[in-house]
Amino acid sequence: MGRLFDGVAALLGLRHYASYEGQAAMLLEAAAIRAARRLGLPGAASEDEPSWHHAREKPVPPSAASDPVDAPVRLPTVAFAQSVLRELDQGLEPDVIALHFHHNLAQATARTAAALAGGHGCETVALSGGVFQNMLLLELLSRDLEARGLRVLVHRNVPTNDGGLCLGQAQTAAAIVLRNGAA
């Protein structure tokens, strides 16, 4: 997701070179929030709002030779880029396009997660990873998943980024040491 955010931020002219990890993504989120505030648009776009759905292509399905439940699924990243370029050509301002991108990404991710959860008989989805430091995306995606009847788990006491990963690694190492006895 990080490279997708970097690419969209570059297309919108928000940042072409990052001085630190996540810089372009933060600028893209800030642009989207500015547009949402200016336009008075709270929450996720509904399925009936056609102006925000240029990138509505369904996720790329797994090959027919594989088990569809376990096969990898890809989000339509090319469609997201095409949507951004189309809206730039139409003269939309970058902040508004950034907001559209967040809505489109949340909806595509929710569709994908719901399909995968249904294929596995799950009713709960956990949202984890550095991309969920983006509070706008987290809010839009959580709302969409809940509207689809899924329970959403998010980080509260542990960072969603690499800090949480490190804590998990430390807990795993401690459990191994306890199980095997002190060295």
Coil, strand or helix: which one is 140?
Answer: helix
Give one word for 22, left, alpha or beta, with left for phi > 0 and alpha for psi -120 to 50. left
pLDDT of residue 169: 81
Q: What is the residue-level pLDDT of the chain in tens, covering all 183 positions?
A: 999 999 999 999 999 998 999 999 999 999 999 999 998 875 434 343 433 343 344 444 443 334 455 566 788 889 999 999 999 999 999 999 999 999 999 999 999 999 999 999 999 999 988 899 999 999 999 999 999 999 999 988 887 777 777 777 888 888 898 888 765
Helix (H) or strand (E) holding 124: strand 124-126
Total number of domains constituting the chain = 1
C-alpha–C-alpha distance, residues 137 and 130, integer Å: 11
Q: Provide the residue range defining the domain that includes 125.
A: 2-180
Nearest 5°: the CA angle 78, 84, 88 is 145
Q: 136 CB contacts (<8 Å, ≥6 apart)?
A: 29, 32, 33, 36, 102
CATH number at residue 142: 3.30.420.40
Dig out the tokens for 34 from the structure: 């500015």
Coil, strand or helix: which one is 75?
Answer: coil
pLDDT of residue 158: 82
Question: How many other CB atoms are there within 10 angstroms of residue 90's CB atom?
Answer: 9
